[in-house]
Amino acid sequence: MAKPTYEELENKVRVLELRVGHLHLLEKELRSLEAQFSLVEKQLRQRQRMDSLGTLAQGVAHDFNNILSGIMAYLNLLSLADDNFSPSQKAYVQNIVNSVKRGAATVKQFQNLSNRAVSPKENIDIYTVAQEVFLLLEKTTDKLIEKRLDIEKDRVFVCADINEIHQVFMNLATNAVHAIEAKGLKKGDRIRLSVNAETRKSADLQYLPRGEYYEFLFEDTGIGMPEAVLEKAFDPLFTTKTGPENTGQGLGLAMVKDIITKRHEGHIEVDSSPGRGTVFHIFLPKADDACGLEEPPAVIQGGSGTILIVDDDPSVRESLQRALEDFGYRIIPAGDGEEGLARFKENAGAVNLVLLDMIMPKMPGRELLKQMLKIDPDVKVIISSGHDEGHFEDPIIKSAKNYLKKPFEITVLEKAIRQVLDQKGCSA
Ligand SMILES: Nc1ncnc2c1ncn2[C@@H]1O[C@H](COP(=O)(O)OP(=O)(O)OP(=O)(O)O)[C@@H](O)[C@H]1O
Ligand SMILES: [Mg+2]
């Protein structure tokens, strides 16, 4: 075989060099694919955790909503008969009502982790919400920790859900106290909430949609977070609190982030390092005139007519029966779907309205509604459920006249009942 010429060798080297170049390019490409893959994998894992969390949340939320509904209905009855109460007793009742509403908001938050329902926003004074949290902190934590609320009353208004913002501050405050305790409490320790005097335009904050934002700073002088914790702090179910006296669920910051970014189209970031403490920066939309144009509160007027209440929870059923009977309605109670259908048939033509729970043993609410529609296509139904019904496209569900999310105030239910019964074609 003839020896290759110098040019031939040079050509071969060039081809080889080109191939090596290609290999480098391929390797780079592969690395970037690998990085993308691990990101997707991480997101998927988070999604799976959220899904199982969601299923669990729906079950717990359902039971809690029923419990809260019972308490709410009895509280409403109490406050309607409060002539004999002293002013402080009236205030106590109102405080319990507020707590029940907060409880309901917490339950809703759990549901929202897997379910994107939109809640009403109003024009809220951040001071009022923060002050409540700081008062609680003052009463329940060591005096050595200085609590500073550097926000003036009547000055800073955001467009937000008041209960959710309360939850945000409670979670951040609880974490702050834990962080200070974990470091070892000493003089000079501080938890502080302040606001940047200048509002920021979303144009300067590229990640935010539109309008003007307030920047809040929630600071503590606690143990701080190393990089590895910082990276995962907002992940659902991530916690470092595994000790015997302080176990965490790892849900606090996941909820905080969800509330701020998804529910309020805001933004949250955290700045922290071990020994330096932690600062959360929270951006929330500044309130404008269009925020919180709420309906005026409903007033009880009472009425007449026969209402079939189908709910498997005795405390919900009985409290609603008591309240609605007080307002002049005749009530037929039923404890499950089958009983509901039997009562509906027995009282054919006499039932003016059905108040229907969705999740029940034996026959679920949807099936009962389907059966009732076969008997009377014009049956008037108000659905009362602990879930944000995700299937409003379902023609059976759509046939209902109204939908109330548990727990609701009796005034709201009564107004909904009147609206349905006052519609033309009702004999009540
Ligand atoms: N202010 C803080 N200072 C130091 N570390 C914090 C702070 N806030 C949160 N962390 C860290 O982030 C983790 C996640 O916080 P998160 O509030 O989500 O869950 P948790 O407090 O552990 O449990 P849960 O809030 O559900 O009771 C904490 O376990 C902690 O390690
Ligand atoms: Mg927490």
Token pair, residue 292, equals: 């919180």
Distance 118 CA to ligand 2 centre (A): 24
Residue 341 has pLDDT above 90, yes or no: yes
What's the whole-number average pLDDT of the chain? 84
Query: What burial letters (b/e) apply to 193-207, b meaning 16+ CB within 10 Å?
Result: bebeeeebebeeeee
Closest ligand 1 atom to 238 CA: 14
Distance 304 CA to ligand 2 centre (A): 49
Residue with tokens 């702050």: 176
* Residue 261 CA, distance from chain mean position: 12
Ligand 1 contacts CB of residue 225 (under 6 A): yes
DSSP assignment string, 82-106:
GGGS-HHHHHHHHHHHHHHHHHHHH
Higher pLDDT, 218 or 162: 218
- What is the phi/psi pair of residue 405, to 5°? -95, 125
Distance 258 CA to ligand 2 centre (A): 14
Q: List, for residues 171-201, the tens digit of each pLDDT value.
A: 999 999 999 999 999 999 999 999 998 888 7
Ligand 1 contacts CB of residue 221 (under 6 A): no
Ligand 1 contacts CB of residue 254 (under 6 A): yes
> Which of 78-92, 256-270, 358-372 shows the lowest mean pLDDT across its residues?
78-92
Residue 333 pLDDT level (bands cut at 50, 70, 90): very high
| 8 A C-beta contact, residue 210 and residue 202 | yes
Cα–Cα dist 410/333, whole Å: 17
Bridge-based pairing of strands 212-220 and 200-201 is: antiparallel
Ligand 1 contacts CB of residue 277 (under 6 A): no
Q: List, for residues 18-55, the tens digit of each pLDDT value.
A: 778 777 777 877 787 777 777 777 766 666 666 666 66
Task: Say if residue 277 is exposed, middle or buried (CB neighbours under 10 Å; 0-12, 13-18, 19+).
Answer: buried
Domains defined for the chain, CATH in brackets: 121-285 (3.30.565.10), 306-422 (3.40.50.2300)
pLDDT attached to residue 77: 79
Task: Say if residue 392 is exposed, middle or buried (CB neighbours under 10 Å; 0-12, 13-18, 19+).
Answer: exposed
Residue with tokens 């039932």: 351
Task: Say if residue 378 is exposed, middle or buried (CB neighbours under 10 Å; 0-12, 13-18, 19+).
Answer: exposed
Angle at CA 206, nearest 5°, toward 252 and 172?
Answer: 15
Arithmetic mean of pLDDT, 297-319: 84
Token pair, residue 99, equals: 């707590």
Arithmetic mean of pLDDT, 167-173: 93
**47-61, 263-277, 413-427, range with greatest mean pLDDT:** 263-277
pLDDT attached to residue 51: 62
Q: Which conformational region is residue 237 in: left (phi greater than 0), alpha (psi within -120 to 50 degrees), or beta?
A: left
Cα–Cα dist 396/366, whole Å: 7
Ligand 1 contacts CB of residue 253 (under 6 A): yes
| 8 A C-beta contact, residue 250 and residue 237 | yes
Output the residue whose Cα is nearest ligand 1's atom 8: 175
Distance 238 CA to ligand 2 centre (A): 10
Helix axes 6-80, 314-326, angle to 10 degrees: 50
Helix axes 410-422, 6-80, angle to 10 degrees: 90
Residue 255 has pLDDT above 60, yes or no: yes
Return the closest-CA partner of residue 321 out of 70, 93, 94.
Answer: 70
Distance 131 CA to ligand 1 centre (A): 22
Ligand 1 contacts CB of residue 249 (under 6 A): yes
Ligand 1 contacts CB of residue 252 (under 6 A): yes
Hey, which of 241, 268, 270, 273 would you mutate to test ligand 1's pocket, going by the most ligand atoms within 8 Å of its Cβ?
241
- In the chain, the amino acid numbered 289 is D
CA-to-CA separations, 417 to 1, 277, 301, 313, 315, in angstroms, rounded: 101, 54, 11, 20, 20
Ligand 1 contacts CB of residue 248 (under 6 A): yes
| 8 A C-beta contact, residue 281 and residue 216 | yes
Ligand 1 contacts CB of residue 222 (under 6 A): yes
